[in-house]
């Protein structure tokens, strides 16, 4: 099982929608993020050598490699965001591609990507939904629908839902995903499970399970033996009286042990289903598949035979004991529409101008939806004639408590349906919420969710069904403390993640894509200051140097500063522009200036092939905490000119950069002039912290100067981003 997502909120930026901007007047202002002290130290001597004695380490095309990510939003935000004014502002950043993010997958919701469609039970407007694949009026907006058979207390979107396993309502129930049954997978049955996470280690000797249909005929009630959820020696162990081989459903009361056993985590492990549906005979086959539980209770039975339940019941996340389940049935009703979760209509995005006429990486919902709905989506896009080369299956399954093998089964099931529609289209995923996917409560010696997913595909001879590989890059949960040290440490973390992904067996012959990137999954002040731009530069340029193929910046639309996690993080957001009270883009922010330097200075705009060369950076001073202060990334552009992006992550100390080319002879020579030096530094930008009213007090574009070459060191101010580019292309 994957690591639990940060609670209470997963994504920054769109948590407080643009509709709420005008309502924030008078809000209290928290303490601002700490600032690093300044000191008048002399510049550190730094030497950067581009090694051209060996072949380029990577090649890419800017119109394929750089993009922006569009997410779901709150009520009314889609109309406010997708205006001609905002589209012009966003596209002016130069990020060519679009990655459509699917917030419904994070919120345990089904996606009605087309509001027109059909229900499996149309008489009652409920069941399994398939959006219409017939082009009609342009789809301008779409919605998510809460799943009433939900079993997870926590989700990765707005986290406003709750589990039906312990909501105290005997009429509701959790049900597992029927598409994991052999009827659909054509593979041996995979067990399903439900976990109860007690507040602290607690003595347990009794379980009470109220089964719905279909119920488990064969199952175990287990407890976790580890000292914590990540203990490598931890194991799931069946209670002495916890094994049931002839379950009859209904109200099951189990005396698990003659003496209470102390544990923090409990699991109901279901192996054989009754195949019995609550609906009349002849109904939907999906009603018969999987497992369903109405309520769970755990605790102790005293000498008088009275059961003391320690599972808290409630219809809100904070009222109930957290539960986690292996999967969720995508059955829902028309009344389950989430009015607070809107997705931009597919037609709206394609026709807005945001895609620049290029293919968009579109999503297909798979673990809270159906393969039939994904197939209809693909048929619709093809009927519209929209450019399409990549379809991403699911989003962040490692953060949704789903087993890697279960995701693998749904991935292949959906892949088969989609591939039959368009054999030339590339399908991929899984958009890991992190490049490092350590699992929890997992007795498997391989504690990598991604490693287990890759192994599942390999074991079935289906690794070639992974047409491209995606993951997200949010390196830090908090933005407090020494931000410079975090910036420096990020480079090491990203390198280690890439090494690990290769070791886990991700094919290096397919594209690797960062589907979203930013400082953190939570909002904070560094995002609207220079460190946000510096981290973006290291993530994107570092990824290309490591062999990556493309990266999509999250926070593409205008927004406002918010604080949603830690007071010490201050107020900020991932965004290119500030938004006014109508949600329209106003002033630009550091992320925008980085994007412009990336797409217009470091690289040559368009489809031209760029070559990446490794740069060796050495310093005349010991590196500060977290790693070297300066990084540098080199490309040879299609016009023959060299361009180097240098990042100084030291908050206080400048650097004097000596730049050289090392050829086959071993000699190192300076770049010949003239060169343009484009620099973005504290002299260009400063931020005034004022809670949600924070704003730039100095906001100038990057400074541009020319020099005769790089024989003279290039000065890198503290917290600066610099591009050094030859103006006279080489033959």
pLDDT(2) > 70: no
Q: What is the tens place of the pLDDT at every residue in 151-171?
A: 999 998 888 899 999 999 999
pLDDT value at residue 399: 86
Nearest to 540 by CA among 448, 438, 612: 612
Kindly state whether residue 560 falls inside one of the protein's structural domains: yes
pLDDT tens-digit profile of 216-260?
999 999 999 999 998 889 999 999 999 999 999 999 999 999 999
Last residue of a domain, one of 284, 306, 329: 329
Determine the pLDDT at residue 5.
35
Interval 97-124 mean pLDDT: 97
pLDDT of residue 182: 96
Residues 363 and 468 in one domain: yes
* Window from 267-276, 399-408, 483-492 with minimum mean pLDDT: 399-408
| pLDDT confidence of residue 27 | 36
3-state class (DSSP) for residue 705: strand
Listed residues 576, 606, 636: the one ending a domain: 606
Q: Judge contact between 392 and 467, C-beta under 8 A.
A: no
pLDDT in tens, 381-418: 999 999 999 999 999 999 888 999 999 999 999 999 99
Tell me what pLDDT residue 664 has. 83
Question: DSSP alpha helices (H): ranges in 333-467?
Answer: 346-352, 371-384, 404-421, 449-459
Give yes or no: residues 216 and 353 share one domain. Answer: no
Residue 40: predicted pLDDT: 52
Q: Which helix (H) or strand (E) holds 324?
A: strand 323-325
Q: Do 285 and 318 share a domain, yes or no?
A: yes
- Residue range 553-560: mean pLDDT, rounded: 96
How would you classify the pairing of strands 642-648 and 703-709? unpaired
3-state secondary structure of 576: coil
One domain, residues 487 and 434: yes
pLDDT recorded at residue 24: 38
Residue 201 shares a structural domain with residue 230: yes
Domain co-membership, 110 together with 186: no
For strand 261-273 and strand 216-224, is the pairing parallel, antiparallel, or unpaired? antiparallel
Say yes or no: 294 and 356 in one domain.
no
> What's the mean pLDDT in 711-725?
97
Is residue 670, in this structure, part of any structural domain at all? no
Q: What is the pLDDT of residues 308-353, one digit of tens each?
A: 999 999 999 899 999 999 999 999 999 999 999 999 999 999 999 9
Query: Same structural domain for residues 199 and 233?
Result: yes
Higher-pLDDT residue of 492, 621: 492
Lookup: tokens for 243: 């094994």
Mean pLDDT value of segment 554-564? 95
Instruction: Provide the CB-side half-sphere exposure for 156 (13 A, CA).
Output: 23
Q: What is the CA radius of gyration of the chain?
A: 27
What pLDDT does 38 receive? 43
Task: Place 132 in a pLDDT band, splitting at 50, 70 and 90.
Answer: very high
Q: Which of 282, 309, 329 is the last residue of a domain?
A: 329
Residue 319: give its domain's CATH number. Answer: 2.60.120.260
Q: What is residue 25's predicted lDDT score, i.e. its pLDDT?
A: 33
Cα gap 326→334, rounded to integer Å: 25
Question: The CATH number of the domain where 588 resides is what?
Answer: 3.20.20.80
Among the residue ranges 188-192, 213-217, 400-404, 622-626, the one predicted with the least confidence is: 622-626
What mean pLDDT is predicted for residues 452-471?
97
> Are both 493 and 576 inside the same structural domain?
yes
Task: Please say whether the beta carbons of 118 and 130 come within 8 A.
Answer: yes
Residue 652 lies in a domain: no
Whether 16 is covered by a domain: the verdict is no
- Residue 295 structure tokens: 């309520």
Q: For the chain, first and last CA: distance in Å?
A: 55
Q: Identify the domain containing residue 252 by its residue range.
A: 174-329
303 in the same domain as 428: no
Average pLDDT (621-650) is 93
Please check whether residues 181 and 143 belong to one and the same domain: no
- On whether residue 449 sits in a domain, the answer given is yes
pLDDT averaged over the chain? 92
**How many separate domains does the chain show?**
2
Question: What are the residues facing 58 on neighbouring strands?
Answer: 612
How are beta strands 66-70 and 550-553 bridged, if at all?
Answer: parallel
pLDDT > 70: percent of the chain: 93
Q: What is the pLDDT of residue 169?
A: 97
> Which pTM was predicted?
0.93
323, 352: one domain: no
In a domain? residue 141? yes
Q: Which run of H or of E encompasses 432? A: strand 426-432
505 is written with which tokens? 């067996």
Q: Is residue 435 part of a domain?
A: yes
Question: Is 80 part of a structural domain of the chain?
Answer: yes
For 99-108, what is the mean pLDDT? 96
Rounded to whole angstroms, the Cα distance separating 78 from 144 reads 14
How many angstroms separate the CA atoms of 387 and 513, rounded?
19
Q: How confident is the model at residue 129 (pLDDT cuts 50, 70, 90)?
A: very high
């Amino acid at each position: 099982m994957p690591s639990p997502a940060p609670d209470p909120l997963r994504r920054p930026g769109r948590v407080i929608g643009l509709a709420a901007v005008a309502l924030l007047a008078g809000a209290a202002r928290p303490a601002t993020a700490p600032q690093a002290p300044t000191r008048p130290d002399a510049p550190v001597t730094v030497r950067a050598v581009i090694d051209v004695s060996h072949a380029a380490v990577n090649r890419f095309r800017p119109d394929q490699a750089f993009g922006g990510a569009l997410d779901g939003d709150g009520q009314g935000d889609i109309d406010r965001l997708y205006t001609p004014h905002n589209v012009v502002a966003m596209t002016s950043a130069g990020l060519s591609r679009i990655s459509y993010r699917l917030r419904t997958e994070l919120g345990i919701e089904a996606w009605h990507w087309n509001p027109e469609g059909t229900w499996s039970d149309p008489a009652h407007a409920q069941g399994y939904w398939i959006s219409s694949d017939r082009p009609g009026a342009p789809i301008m907006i779409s919605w998510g629908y809460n799943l009433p058979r939900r079993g997870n207390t926590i989700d990765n979107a707005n986290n406003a839902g709750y589990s039906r396993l312990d909501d105290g309502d005997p009429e509701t129930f959790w049900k597992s995903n029927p598409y994991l049954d052999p009827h659909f997978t054509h593979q041996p049955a995979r067990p399903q499970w439900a976990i109860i996470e007690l507040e602290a280690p607690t003595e347990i000797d009794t379980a009470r399970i109220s089964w719905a249909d279909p119920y488990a005929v064969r199952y175990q009630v287990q407890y976790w033996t580890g000292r914590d959820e990540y203990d490598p020696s931890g194991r799931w162990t069946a209670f002495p009286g916890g094994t049931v081989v002839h379950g009859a459903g209904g109200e099951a009361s189990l005396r698990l042990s003659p003496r209470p056993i102390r544990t923090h985590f409990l699991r109901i492990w279901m192996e054989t289903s009754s195949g019995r549906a609550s609906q009349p005979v002849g109904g939907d086959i999906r009603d018969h598949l999987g497992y369903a539980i109405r309520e769970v209770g755990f605790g102790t039975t005293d000498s008088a035979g009275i059961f003391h339940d320690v599972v808290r019941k409630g219809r809100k996340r904070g009222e109930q004991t957290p539960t986690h389940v292996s999967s969720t049935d995508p059955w829902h009703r028309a009344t389950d529409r989430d009015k607070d979760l809107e997705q931009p209509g597919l037609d709206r995005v394609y026709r807005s101008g945001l895609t620049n006429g290029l293919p968009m990486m579109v999503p297909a919902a798979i673990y809270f939806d159906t393969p039939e709905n994904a197939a209809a989506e693909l048929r619709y896009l093809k009927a519209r004639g929209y450019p399409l080369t990549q379809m991403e299956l699911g989003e962040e399954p490692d953060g949704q408590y789903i087993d890697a093998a279960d995701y693998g089964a749904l991935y292949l099931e959906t892949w088969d349906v989609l591939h039959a529609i368009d054999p030339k289209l590339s399908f991929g995923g899984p958009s890991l919420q992190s490049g490092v996917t350590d699992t929890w409560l997992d007795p498997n010696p391989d504690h990598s969710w991604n490693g287990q997913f890759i192994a599942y595909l390999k074991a079935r001879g289906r690794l070639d069904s992974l047409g491209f590989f995606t993951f997200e890059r949010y390196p830090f949960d908090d933005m407090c403390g020494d931000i410079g040290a975090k910036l420096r440490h990020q480079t090491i973390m990203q390198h280690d993640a890439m090494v690990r992904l290769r070791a886990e067996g991700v094919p290096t012959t397919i594209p690797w894509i960062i589907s979203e990137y930013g400082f953190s999954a939570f909002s904070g002040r560094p995002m609207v200051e220079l460190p946000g731009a510096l981290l973006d530069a290291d993530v994107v340029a570092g990824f290309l140097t490591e062999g990556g193929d493309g990266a999509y910046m999250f926070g593409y639309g205008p927004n406002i500063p918010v604080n949603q996690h830690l007071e010490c993080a201050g107020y900020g957001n991932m965004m290119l522009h500030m938004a006014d009270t109508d949600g329209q883009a106003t002033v630009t922010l550091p992320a925008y200036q980085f994007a412009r330097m990336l797409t217009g200075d470091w690289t040559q705009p368009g489809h031209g092939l760029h070559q990446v060369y490794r740069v060796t950076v050495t310093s005349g001073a010991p590196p500060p905490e977290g790693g070297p202060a300066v990084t540098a990334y080199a490309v040879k552009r299609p016009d023959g000119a060299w361009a180097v992006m240098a990042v100084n992550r030291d908050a206080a100390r400048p650097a004097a950069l000596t730049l050289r080319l090392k050829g086959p002879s071993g000699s190192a020579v300076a770049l010949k002039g003239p060169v343009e030096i484009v620099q973005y530094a504290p002299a260009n930008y400063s931020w005034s912290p004022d809670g949600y009213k924070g704003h730039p007090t100095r906001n100038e574009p990057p400074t541009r100067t020319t020099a005769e070459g790089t024989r003279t060191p290039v000065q890198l101010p503290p917290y600066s981003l610099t591009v050094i580019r030859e103006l006279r292309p080489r033959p």
